[in-house]
Amino acid sequence: MAISLSASTIPSLNAQSRVPAYSSKSSFCSLQFPAQFRRILIGNRGVSSPSGHRCLPLVVEAAKKQTFSSFEDLLANSDKPVLVDFYATWCGPCQFMVPILNEVSTILKDKIQVVKIDTEKYPSIADKFRIEALPTFIIFKDGKPYDRFEGALTVNQLIERIESSLQVKQ
């Protein structure tokens, strides 16, 4: 069975419209969500935010995709650690992370590969890794989960988290 995942130097969401990429100097990247909006909880009865409101997606520029026979194949064939962003298209904090992940992928292109997995298209992968909040990030090294964290972060926060995780645990 073939699985098509959004993966590349910087994968992105499926999108019809385009908006410009944001830099770390952009006020958009320094935006901080209140703590109650940084994660979306997934329960047995569907998906909701702690506030009870459904998040609206931002429309972003589409990037190229790569197809792999399986998620395990993608992890096994990566020559560097893989940061996986588990997201949903309707999740506001997940959409907030798109330009941030684009920038982080560019800055850390020699250190880590960034992959996005839509939890609604691939629920079996989300279930396997017990994804209960969005966005959830897992760093895989040598095909195995290495570090895990949840919630929206700024560019600098995400880079610091990735670098400290890879340095501390090596």
- To the query of whether residue 94 is one of the catalytic residues in this protein, the response is yes
Helices (H), 77-154: 92-107, 123-128
Helix (H) or strand (E) holding 166: helix 155-169
Contact 93, 38 (CB under 8 A): yes
d(CA 8, CA 63): 8
- To the query of whether residue 91 is one of the catalytic residues in this protein, the response is yes
d(CA 166, CA 114): 14
Number of continuous H segments (helices) and E segments (strands) in the chain = 4, 9
**Among residues 7, 75, 91, 117, which one is catalytic?**
91
**Among residues 10, 40, 94, 158, which one is catalytic?**
94
Question: So which residues are the catalytic ones?
Answer: 91, 94
